[in-house]
A and B are shown apart, each in its own frame.
Chain A
């Protein structure tokens, strides 16, 4: 069975890589198969790991009076079912209620936490190194952290310059002329460095995927050919 799995995986891998030569039916077959299996697998798993234990089980236990505390799930289930109102043109307006709940809940949960995690903490992180230039600090684990080295001081200054200039580039309420233009050009340079770093890392990631597949083809699939031959002869 494992051998069959290896051969199917190898065949589909080669089908996908055949696209590098040119588009062909084998590639399209593998692509469609992948999409279909992914969606099917995702739906089945969501039903078994989400819908059945979180909605259906408590609901069933409630209506059969095994555990009446499950009656409360009828409310979210009812609101969830309103999404299907979209299918009826006469009742489509009902979909506003679950969407309103989702947006209200999502915004209420996200806004304070996102502000704290991505704005306040990042601002603190940008300015905090300046407080460590001339004095020792104590880390969370109790270790004494020495004052910043000249290299770290340059890094902290560069970081502030990068933040200010990049934000200036995205400040469109003032025409970008004179000093604002200069600052935004420096901002562009920082952005380009960021994009370059992201692109380099992306190349690393994509190459790793290729290496993993080649590793599979060379050491699992080709080894399985040897296993088949040795079992025959």
Chain B
């Protein structure tokens, strides 16, 4: 039950994009087509789960026992960057279809603040290992959900008559604001 609440909380109530503002760059950048939004969401979820596993192990088995918590920021970012590179190589070797679906998005994800944010939140809230993995899964699902909804709206928005100065990023942000307003309705759920 505890795990379920963590999942729902990360995915919907405290959605990474719409409540914590993590991963806004891909949210604005990749959300203009439904297909690329789905792929990006899946790739991010994949990296998030791996990050949750590795960052937990690194933080609790290396940094804490050796009193190195002040190295948290550089070590997280380095481990995430090299890990993503490694995962990309493995996927390329093992599964070509999967590589074609996720490949181009993987390098972009390294500098996505949602990934580092996930690792930092995990260590800040002192989750257990299983909780942290579920937290990563929930955050990825929430990110995908927000991205896919946004892409669906933006495909319709292309047909709308938006005033010229508001075309592009401004209208996207305003739509995201309304979407965030809708997601606030879930706030009382937990």
Q: Do A and B bind each other?
A: no
Interface residues of A (CB under 8 A from B): none
